[in-house]
Structure 1
Amino acid sequence: MYAYHRFFVPLALLSTLLISCTASAVSPAVVVDAAGNTTRETIDPYQQRFGRLQPVIAVVGDNSGTELTDFVIPYGVLSASGVATVVSVSTEAGTLQMLPALKLQAQHTLQQFDELFPQGADYVVVPAIRDKNNARLITWLTAQSGKGGSLVSICNGAITLAATGLMKGHRATAHWASEKTRAADFPDVLWQKNIRYVADGKIISSAGISASLPVSIALVQAIAGEEKANALANQLGLTDWSSKHSSDAFQQASDDPSLAWRVQQKAPTHMNIPLSVGMDEVALALRAEAYSHSGAVQVVSVSGNTKPVKTRHNLLVVPDKQVVILGANVEPASLPSAQALDTALDTISREYGPAAAAQAARVMEYPARSKNARSGLEGS
């Protein structure tokens, strides 16, 4: 069983979710799984098209602001699987500003992708973005759907996907904090809650931020089978990639003084994360998100020069700062990618207090913690 905790969300910190999440109470218009979510969602098996040896997956971001892990985790996990051609795409040329931290440089713009793959992507991954109603992206997503591609929203990327009209009549989900807003703005979508990801034909969606891990593994299963998916999950250190979930737990708050916010009156500490060639982009993204969403830390990526640094799967990270790096402030290379989040939350709890770690877990909609990582964050 997963364990959940209840605590306050400071208004200032919750505003960091402006790209994707609007705080809200549970709306009666939100559809709840009548079966109690006892069965696992399954993405339809991949159907080969155009004589391609592998499906083409486009992970698309908007330059003005894209949720970091929503973009990086699907890119990293699907690249690591080796079962697809994975391409990073930006709405326009230039740097992608990731939120809440880091900067990336995509391989192609929307126009360049269309020139390389005129028949379209087999799957398009849509992260939460700051400009949820980006007309250029909405038009492109509509065109990709028209070419037969499946659309996969991560977190409140579902809001942008819903704006295309393609979600009408489909089951879907997104971050717990946007339930009321989504139901009001898109009443023709069958919004689900208490579920990690939803697969409804060619419309696939996931819950908040950390759900990008299980839905990415579920996509590997659709392409290459359950054995391959399980093997990759084990390699990444992900013990459960089912759709079982309780978003209701994240709606709760408590005035328990033991979980009072301890760092909200303090200026965030600057933490440098050195970049190195070949580093694990999944672990990097999880670590940067956790520290940033704790409210205690402002993450800054640093390198010995200003050139973009290529990660394990050829994603380019643009350093925030050029510094002389004397030591490596990174997670151990042997740590499985998915476990970087638990490790970061443990460190945050020790250094800044359990409330800071609990805050990061709530923003990231992360319910599962290892036994050791739960210390100080849970009730009995």
Structure 2
Amino acid sequence: MRVHNIAVPFAFFLLLAGLVAATVAGAQTAAGTLEPKPGRERAVVAVVALNSGTEVTDFLVPYSILNQAGAEVTAVAPAMEPVALWPASAVRPDADFARFDAAYPEGADIVIVPAMIEADDAAVIGWLKTQAASGALMVSICEGASVLASAGLFDGKRATGHFYEHENRSEKFPEVRWQRNARYVEDEGVISSAGVSASLPVSLMLAERLAGRERAREIAAAYGVADYGPEHDSEAFNIGVAEVTTALKNMAFGWPRAHYLIEVRDGVDEIDMAFPLDFAARTYRGSSATIAAKAEVTTRHGLAVIADATGEARRSARLVRLPGAPEGGPEAAVTLANPATLREDFLAFIGDDLGPGTAHFVATQLEYPRP
């Protein structure tokens, strides 16, 4: 018998992990391609962040994939201050709203909206409304859906988001026709996607419309994604008694705490970095953080990452080495050598390290399908 979701706010699961450790030019055509606004050679993409807190995978995955699809991608935030990522690390935005507007007075072609610590931040909401009015395709990742719903941009339309927040969203935003069992939903100039793991398929779908199917499939293959269509069974995921028991047991009795240090360097792939940070912190047995040889590193596509720690990892930490790391250096607890199997390999490592129940709980929170 299926256990219904226990009524704990989704923010509990996002924030507690950190505490424990087609309208105008540029819209889609009938053929499914996406043309940039007149006068542009490349589509302009804004990946929006709230300085005080933005979900790491929601933010980094589309930033990486749409860069690989040839778009002109900007990480934009209300202020030119560091963006705190859930559950760990921080990045510097490429532009604040004022700088972006000055550089692109016609607005973006695509605006990506991740989950944010505040779904109704006034500066973000106002800017999103302006971008939508300019004809930008608005795309939410996971509970970025609540941000776009707060802006009224889903009113009267079909949309989706993380499975756990379905009832809360339906009550808070009754004007929206909330959908289940879809990785992403498109309706009249807006696209929404389901759980955190939907950042990959929806970004690949956009990559196909920007760069063609062949290029999108090349990118998908590099990350081990065989299919990025909209089909998805969100009812296969459930935060019930077993999952909450795992969380409480890990928080109360999970000693010594597990501290995972994700080793980053200049040129690190944003996606390779994002998932281990996200997965490790959601164990409720400890925390995750970035470690680097210097205070800031520049990612594969030019994003400045502010490392949480520098120098050598302390002995009690579990060092996680990412694909492309040079030979040598201190011994790692796990080396994730292949981007195509990285997510499964790291979940398997968590299962070996902290038990299969914890690995299952991590995957469920991210709505990540596993065999």
User: 2: CA distance between counterparts of 1:335 and 1:201?
Assistant: 41
Asked if structure 1 preserves the Cα contact closer than 8 Å seen for 2:292 and 2:310, the reply is yes
Q: What is the Cα deviation at residue 235 of structure 1?
A: 2.1
Asked if structure 1 preserves the Cα contact closer than 8 Å seen for 2:262 and 2:276, the reply is no
2:14 is aligned with what amino acid? Answer: L
Asked if structure 2 preserves the Cα contact closer than 8 Å seen for 1:262 and 1:353, the reply is no
Asked if structure 2 preserves the Cα contact closer than 8 Å seen for 1:208 and 1:365, the reply is yes
**Which of 280, 283, 290 is residue 301 of structure 1 equivalent to?**
290
Q: Secondary structure at the match of 2:321?
A: coil
Task: Give the alignment's TM-score, normalised by structure 1.
Answer: 0.82
1:48 and 2:6 equivalent? no
Identify the residue that residue 219 of structure 2 maps to in structure 1.
Answer: 232
1:31-70 paired onto structure 2 within 5 Å: 44-70=32-58
User: 1: CA distance between counterparts of 2:277 and 2:3?
Assistant: 23
Which has the bigger relative contact order, CA under 8 A and spacing at least 6? Answer: 1
Q: What is the Cα deviation at residue 254 of structure 1?
A: 5.5
- Cα 1:144/1:230, change in 2 over 3 Å: same
Q: Deviations over 1:13-46 (max 9, x none)?
A: 9713259xxxxxxxxxxxxxxxxxxxxxx99421
Identify the residue that residue 22 of structure 2 maps to in structure 1.
Answer: none
Q: What is the Cα deviation at residue 304 of structure 1?
A: 2.8
1:225-304 paired onto structure 2 within 5 Å: 225-251=212-238, 253=240, 263-265=250-252, 266-267=254-255, 268-304=257-293
Identify the residue that residue 180 of structure 2 maps to in structure 1.
Answer: 193
User: 1: CA distance between counterparts of 2:7 and 2:128?
Assistant: 35
Q: Secondary structure at the match of 2:186?
A: strand
- Cα 1:46/1:354, change in 2 over 3 Å: same
1:357 and 2:356 equivalent? no
1:75 and 2:63 equivalent? yes
Q: What is the Cα deviation at residue 114 of structure 1?
A: 0.6
1:1-380 paired onto structure 2 within 5 Å: 15-18=12-15, 44-81=32-69, 83-251=70-238, 253=240, 263-265=250-252, 266-267=254-255, 268-306=257-295, 308-324=296-312, 329-333=320-324, 335-337=337-339, 339-367=341-369, 369=370, 374=371
Asked if structure 2 preserves the Cα contact closer than 8 Å seen for 1:128 and 1:155, the reply is yes
Q: Deviations over 1:150-199 (max 9, x none)?
A: 10000010111011111111111000111011111111111110110011
- Cα 1:43/1:200, change in 2 over 3 Å: farther
Task: Give the alignment's TM-score, normalised by structure 2.
Answer: 0.84
Asked if structure 2 preserves the Cα contact closer than 8 Å seen for 1:8 and 1:261, the reply is no
Q: Deviations over 1:226-283 (max 9, x none)?
A: 2222222112221121111111121363659x98975232253222222211111101
Q: Deviations over 1:98-117 (max 9, x none)?
A: 11111111111111111111
Asked if structure 2 preserves the Cα contact closer than 8 Å seen for 1:196 and 1:207, the reply is yes
2:359 is aligned with what amino acid? Answer: A
Q: What is the Cα deviation at residue 326 of structure 1?
A: 9.5
1:285 is aligned with what amino acid? Answer: A
Identify the residue that residue 28 of structure 1 maps to in structure 2.
Answer: none
Asked if structure 2 preserves the Cα contact closer than 8 Å seen for 1:263 and 1:352, the reply is no
Asked if structure 2 preserves the Cα contact closer than 8 Å seen for 1:72 and 1:281, the reply is yes
User: 2: CA distance between counterparts of 1:262 and 1:185?
Assistant: 32
Identity %: 34
Q: What is the Cα deviation at residue 332 of structure 1?
A: 3.4
Asked if structure 1 preserves the Cα contact closer than 8 Å seen for 2:222 and 2:340, the reply is no
Asked if structure 2 preserves the Cα contact closer than 8 Å seen for 1:56 and 1:123, the reply is yes
Asked if structure 2 preserves the Cα contact closer than 8 Å seen for 1:305 and 1:322, the reply is yes
- Cα 1:71/1:89, change in 2 over 3 Å: same
User: 2: CA distance between counterparts of 1:8 and 1:296?
Assistant: 22
- Cα 1:259/1:71, change in 2 over 3 Å: closer
Asked if structure 2 preserves the Cα contact closer than 8 Å seen for 1:76 and 1:282, the reply is yes
- Cα 1:86/1:337, change in 2 over 3 Å: farther
User: 2: CA distance between counterparts of 1:47 and 1:348?
Assistant: 42
Identify the residue that residue 327 of structure 2 maps to in structure 1.
Answer: none
Q: Deviations over 1:200-233 (max 9, x none)?
A: 1310010010100000000011222222222221
Q: Name which of structure 1's ranges 223-232 and 134-143 shifts more when overlaid on structure 2.
A: 223-232
Q: What is the Cα deviation at residue 320 of structure 1?
A: 1.2
1:297 is aligned with what amino acid? Answer: G
User: 2: CA distance between counterparts of 1:89 and 1:155?
Assistant: 18
User: 2: CA distance between counterparts of 1:260 and 1:272?
Assistant: 21
